[in-house]
Amino acid sequence: MARRRTTLLALAGLTTGLVAAGGPGAAVAQEPAPEKVPLAVGTGGAVATVDPDATRVGLQVLAAGGNAADAAVAAAAALGVTEPYSAGIGGGGFFVYYDAATGEVSTIDGRETAPLAMGADAFLDADGTPLDFQEAVQSGLSVGTPGTPLTWDRALEEFGTLSLGEALQGGIGLADEGFVVDETFRQQTADNEAKFRRFAPTAELFLPGGQLPEVGSVLRNPDLADTYRLLADQGLEPFYAGGLADDIVATVQDPPEAPGAEQVRPGLLERADLARYDAPLRAPTQVAYRGLQVYGMAPPSSGGSTVGEALDVLEQFPLGSLPDVPLLHSYLEAAALSFADRNRYVGDPAYTPVPLAELLSDDFAAERACAIDPAAALPKPVEAGVPDGEYGPCPAEGAATGAGGAEGPSTTHLTVADAEGNVASYTLTIEQTGGSGITVPGRGFILNNELTDFTFAPADPTVPEPNLPAPGKRPRSSMAPTIVLRDGAPVLALGSPGGSTIITTVLQTLVNRVDRGMDLGAAIAAPRASQRNSPTTDAEPAFLALYGEQLQALGHRFTETAEIGAATGVEFLPGGLLLAAAEPERRGGGSAGVVHELPGVPDLAPDLGADG
């Protein structure tokens, strides 16, 4: 049910405080980049994002009387300015919301959809071989119908108190005045420089004067400010049925290559695809874990089902009484088992029967847990289970399944809670860092490459593949925005970017907090490993230094990777306090804030689980 609208006049003043003139590009900064604070405790509401400007915009909305849905949309719009390579209106995402008035958790599916003209062979060459992945990414063919604008509008209509126009004011001010380029933004630009130079409007916007933006310079995006103003004034009609829709379709069908750049494949998006797009409300996934109720995103995301199944498996073990190495061994094995089932069974439920209830059943989890040997790691990849309702004391032979598909390392996550106890956990993305690389000319935003999340071709033709392209289909996602309740009241919310490592990041953070007794900040900062039913486990250097030798003795094999995920979260502490937490270092560090900060530090790690 829609809330009563309130007009927050203070929102018109949401700007960065920078002074910059001229067109898009870099100018001399008038002040240093805002400080990133990874932990904050206080009252009045909390926001945690990867970016201090976005966190500030969200906090200002809360301070002006907005609720968690209002602040989440406002912060997301700000991230569209400051994190344009990770998120924006050219992409999609999943919005999970706890409504304090009703005690219910709801979700909005803002996942992009395939064009109606897309078939199962869309990512195959003429000879039937899969396209080179990067060739597919940097093409109109990778662009799905964006869902983010409708997600914002639906979140405000269902749960918020602001209009879309009011919620966009912070993003408009930020795009007009600009933000200070930091080392992370410059490095992300450098990593994508070759891709960006292929497309004239992208190079013009993000390579000002033909060069990488300098750290400390101000990057402005007046085209995006105007696009936001258009949506603020006219609603979503221009985006899904008007002139902006025409521009999106023209850009996808004829990507604007730079002079001399190699031509890229055109896409299949039509106006009809935009006009028919919907961001439906879906029932969340739910599992019980250590006396807590853990809610997540249902298919087409695999986040809720895979995190939920792994937790169900781990509940078979007394993790709270185990030393670190056997606990982490159990975590890695449960992740591999749940990924095997994810890869075999999860896809868009409108196209593929997903046995969600069985995947999240206690009996299936007990059967899967029987495969875990405390003294030895399973050979990977493991086989999928058979979630058919007939479970014995030992795992049955299942259909063979391979490792998870490649998903982009980008995406962003924000977590918001307000003084009334409403909570938003929102993961949004344009897929890989820099998306398709294609900016809509004159509109200021990059289009997604979300359709490369489809499986290009079945790994085994004899096994049904739930994630092949199809007309109007939503590709499988790993996004896992999560809200945790105890006795119907919120205690914790979190999420992360990171492609398929999102699932393991959320899972490991929950295990750290609930079973290992870490406070939320420490649970997020702790070194990570990600096992996704692959022969080797990705692991950060600090994880290997602490646990690698002992886990290798159990049979685990590792591939070192610099960093995994970039989580944010909010926890409800005793006494009405809120704790906001973000990464201290990964992806350049995140930004946590509260409306009224508390002097002094209370107990940040009260016991959450009933029987850890």
Catalytically annotated residues: 411
Q: Token pair for residue 449?
A: 């490459």
Q: 393 preceded by cis ω (within 30°)?
A: no
Residue 234 burial (C-beta neighbours within 10 Å; 0-12, 13-18, 19+)? middle
> How many alpha carbons lie under 13 Å from residue 411 in its C-beta half-sphere?
33
List the end-to-end C-alpha distance of the chain, in Å, as a whole number: 38
Q: Token pair for residue 60?
A: 């200002």
How far is the C-alpha of 61 from the C-alpha of 79, rounded, in Å?
A: 15
Neighbours of 171 (CB within 10 A): 32
Residue of 189, 258, 192, 194 lying closest to 217 (CA atoms): 189
Integer-rounded Cα Rg, in Å, for the chain is 23
How far is the C-alpha of 333 from the C-alpha of 335, rounded, in Å?
A: 5
Q: In this structure, are strands 292-296 and 285-289 parallel, antiparallel, or unpaired?
A: antiparallel
* Residue in the block written with tokens 């310079």: 217
How far is the C-alpha of 406 from the C-alpha of 428, rounded, in Å?
A: 18
Cβ(338)–Cβ(380) below 8 Å: no
Cβ(476)–Cβ(556) below 8 Å: no
Residue 572 CA to its chain's centroid (Å): 22
How far is the C-alpha of 383 from the C-alpha of 39, rounded, in Å?
A: 41
